[in-house]
Amino acid sequence: MKHEYKDSQLGAVLGLTDNIKNDNGHFSTTANTIKFLWNRNEESLKLDVDEMELELLPNQMVTVTYLQHVSFAKTHLPLAGILFNREFYCISDHDSEVSCNGILFFGTQDLPLITIPEDQQRKFSLWYDIFVEEFSTPDNIQGDMLQMLLKRLIIMSTRLAKEQLIVKSLENDQIDTIRRFNYLVDMHYKTKRKVSDYADMLFKSPKTLSNLFSIYNQKSPQQIILERLTLEAKRLIHFTDRQNQEIAYDLGFNDPAHFSRFFKKMTQMTPSEYRENLVTEV
């Protein structure tokens, strides 16, 4: 089963499939799309995200963006996928409505792995059935209805993510600060590498951010910034044919040697050694 809604004038795309491994290449576009990947089977399955193996248990979902490289080579069961682009629904423009940036999407933490609890499985299944049905209703408000249903999924998933992935003792405004910090780092890590840069944008002191993240997890705000920069460096080495010098400049380093020292400090390997190690593994 594969469904797609398109608005050619806006370039908007929304897709749904019960087997994204088979259908991923059959949508109008998957470039620059955001995806929900949902294991609706009774068995676990595996996929790779940025060359890291991820196991999805039954009734678990994970969200990925166009910044990540996803492989379904290991996926042996049907994996449901919902994908959309910015032209269909811009999560940044609608952040006040859904508050998902930095939690579900464009975060700097581990992949948001969400478990649908037993008491909510019927609600999610009902949403899925209605979503499928709406694709078969091509009238002049179909786009609005599909957008409303997508928004509903984002809100339901964000609620679960907040419950499952964030320390429960945090207040709502603290959660929002963490969420916004994660999003801002994902947007500005190439040009802003000091905690004070993000503290200024959040109207907080660097100390406030550090104290908040000491409650949230063991990584400091500075570590999160540097790890995001390292992750992008790894992606560029692994998935592009750019030379180390090009990557250094792309990531905001004026001196390739500085980039090499930074990369070795973060990974214990120079960029060239990391690249050679990838070839050896293949």
3 state SS for 135-191 = CCCCCCCHHHHHHHHHHHHHHHHHHHHHHHHCCCCCCHHHHHHHHHHHHHHHHHCCC
Please tell me the total number of residues recorded for the chain in this structure.
282
d(CA 19, CA 24): 8
pLDDT, mean of residues 81-89: 92
Over 80: is that where the pLDDT of 225 sits?
yes
Q: pLDDT per residue over 10-55, tens digit each?
A: 889 999 999 999 999 899 888 889 999 999 999 999 999 988 899 9
pLDDT, mean of residues 119-148: 94
| CATH code, residues 170-282 | 1.10.10.60
More confident residue, 78 or 10: 78
Please state, for a pLDDT cut of 90, what percent of the chain lies above it.
Answer: 63
Tell me which of 92-106, 117-131, 262-276 is least confident. 92-106
User: What pLDDT is attached to residue 97?
Assistant: 64
Over 60: is that where the pLDDT of 282 sits?
no
User: What pLDDT is attached to residue 105?
Assistant: 76
pLDDT confidence band for 109 (50 / 70 / 90) = low
Question: What six digits make up the tokens of 91?
Answer: 């999560």
Residues 6+ apart with CB under 8 A from 38: 60, 61, 79, 80, 81, 82
Residue 15 phi, psi dihedral angles, 5° rounding: -130, 155
d(CA 107, CA 109): 6
CA 166 to chain centre: 16
Q: Residue ranges of the domains in the chain?
A: 2-165, 170-282
Q: What is the mean pLDDT of the chain?
A: 90
Answer yes or no: are the C-beta atoms of 214 and 170 closer than 8 Å: no
Site of tokens 């068995």:
43
User: What pLDDT is attached to residue 168?
Assistant: 63
**2-165: which CATH number, 1.10.287.130, 1.10.10.60, 2.60.120.280, 2.60.200.30?**
2.60.120.280
pLDDT confidence band for 167 (50 / 70 / 90) = low
pLDDT, mean of residues 263-274: 94
Question: What six digits make up the tokens of 185?
Answer: 């780092």
